[in-house]
A and B are shown apart, each in its own frame.
Chain A
Amino acid sequence: MQGTYLAGAPLPASDWLSRDPLTHWTADADVALKKLVDYRDHPIVQRIYPAEVIDTTRQLCKERPLFLEGRHRLPQTLCHQDVFRRNLFAQDDYTLAIDWEMMGIGAAGEDMAGLVSANLALREVDPTQGDALDKVVFSGYMDGLRDIGWQGDADLVRFGLVWFGWVGLYGCLRIAVRAMSD
């Protein structure tokens, strides 16, 4: 489906489609990051979020506006926006996809970023398998786009996947901090 739009089909213009949901998630995560910084000396925080991870995250946050602006320059398509294991059910010859309430216009690679980051963040896939998951997802996605006939730049898709993967993981920070607070 995404390849069809990337290959030139006009994007749907329905006003009920979501726009830029990640901006909302990251705004929530900003609050969580501030809390994390405040409690960075706590033993539990140090164990889960070592100082270098917190510092790198803060640096990426500073650069975020630049990347968020850049996302609109990536090839746009129709996205599910919540693709991960709990919303996908593999059957013998098809996959059932549910929970389409976030569906909207997004960038090439954005859904695949969620498929990697959300599955890792929510422990649907063993974190030690992260690299393998990333490779399988990216190559499968590119194969699908090529099958449809999209001949665009794979590096742009890769950029979308990596960038939105980080944003997705960052967005999950609010869940982690809430859990630690509890």
Chain B
Amino acid sequence: MDELEQRLEALMAVPDWMAPGAAPRYWKREPMACGTGLLSALPDSVRVPRFIAETNTSDTETWRWINFQRPGLWSNMVRRRIISV
């Protein structure tokens, strides 16, 4: 059984990241990708973060809980800020 690490992320949208589709980055695309079953075709040898819950605090900010199946993991993407671990 893998040890789980749970994190709370606060995402703040920036203008270039707010539109779906055409924009290279879309701030809500990742939870959609991981939450809609679109990645269920991945082989067993590849896993993705598990999104537990999400709360929209405003039009440009959302908080979400994520489980990583690897302790100590964190991405250095600048748009993210860890509020609590």
Instruction: Please count how many residues in chain A sit with their CB below 8 Å of the partner chain's CB atoms.
Output: 30
| A96 and B68 contact, CB distance less than 8 A | yes
Q: Which of A14, A21, A94 makes the CB contact (< 8 A) with B45?
A: A94
- Complex formed: what's the CA distance from A102 to B23 in Å? 8
| B38 and A14 contact, CB distance less than 8 A | yes
Instruction: Please count how many residues in chain B sit with their CB below 8 Å of the partner chain's CB atoms.
Output: 34
Question: Whole-angstrom distance from the CB of B71 to the nearest CB of chain A?
Answer: 11
Q: Which of B29, B44, B69 makes the CB contact (< 8 A) with A100?
A: B29
- Complex formed: what's the CA distance from A17 to B36 in Å? 12
Q: How many A-B contacts if CB must be within 8 Å?
A: 91
Given contacts A1-B39, A89-B70, contact A100 B34 (CB under 8 A): yes
**Taking chain A's interface residues, is the majority helix, strand, or loop, or is none over half, making it mixed?**
loop
- Complex formed: what's the CA distance from A19 to B21 in Å? 6
**Taking chain B's interface residues, is the majority helix, strand, or loop, or is none over half, making it mixed?**
loop
| A18 and B21 contact, CB distance less than 8 A | yes
Other than the given A19-B21, A24-B24, 13 more pairs (CB < 8 A) read A12-B38, A14-B32, A18-B25, A19-B22, A24-B23, A91-B70, A96-B48, A97-B42, A98-B73, A99-B30, A99-B75, A102-B29, A103-B30
Q: Which positions in B face A, CB cutoff 8 Å?
A: 17, 20-30, 32-34, 36, 38-39, 41-49, 68-70, 73, 75-77
Q: Which positions in A face B, CB cutoff 8 Å?
A: 1, 4, 9, 12, 14-19, 21, 24-25, 78, 81, 86-87, 89, 91, 93-103
* Closest A-B pairs by Cβ, 10 of them: A21-B24, A16-B20, A100-B33, A1-B41, A100-B30, A101-B30, A101-B29, A24-B24, A103-B33, A1-B42
